[in-house]
Structure 1
Amino acid sequence: MPFSGRGFEPEEVALLGRVFERTSAANENRDEREQRALLILSLYGAGVTDEIKLEQLLRDQMPRRTPNSATSARRGR
C-alpha cells in the first residue's frame, strides 16, 4: 500500500529497508545516503511498491557508484 502520510506498517519498513541496503554504494557519504533514502520514499509515495521495481528505478535515477562489497557478496557477485 502506498504511503499516505499515516506512517508505515512494519512490512513497509522492512521492504524500504531492504531496498535501501541493496542499493548502497561503497564510499557513499551521508548526503548521498540521505538523497537515496529520500528518493526511495518519494518513489514509494508515488505508488511504486514493488521491491524489484523500486530498486530498478532507484538505480536508474542515482549516479553510478560501486556497489557495497557486503551487498555484492550477498548477491553472489
Structure 2
Amino acid sequence: MIDRKLGLFSYRGGALVQLDQVQFARKLQIGPSSPKLVAVTPGGTLVLKRGNPFDGGIGGVDELLNSVARAK
C-alpha cells in the first residue's frame, strides 16, 4: 500500500517504509520471459507481481509507481 499523504509504503502487513526509500523496478524471472514487478526497500526486495506474457505482463507499472511515489 502506498500512502502518499504520510509518505509510507507497506506490503502484506510488513514494516512501514518511507516512500523515498522504496524503488519499484522490473526484475528478470528464471523461466518466464516476462519480468516481475518488485519493490526494493532497505529491508530487501519484495515481489509485487510476477509477469506473465499471456496476461499482458506488467507493462509500465514500475514507472507509474515510481512517479506516484515521488509526486509531491
TM-score range, shorter chain: under 0.3
TM-score (norm 2): 0.28
Write 1 or 2 for the structure with the bigger share of helix. 1
TM-score (norm 1): 0.27
* Structure showing greater relative contact order (alpha-carbon pairs closer than 8 Å, 6 or more residues apart): 1
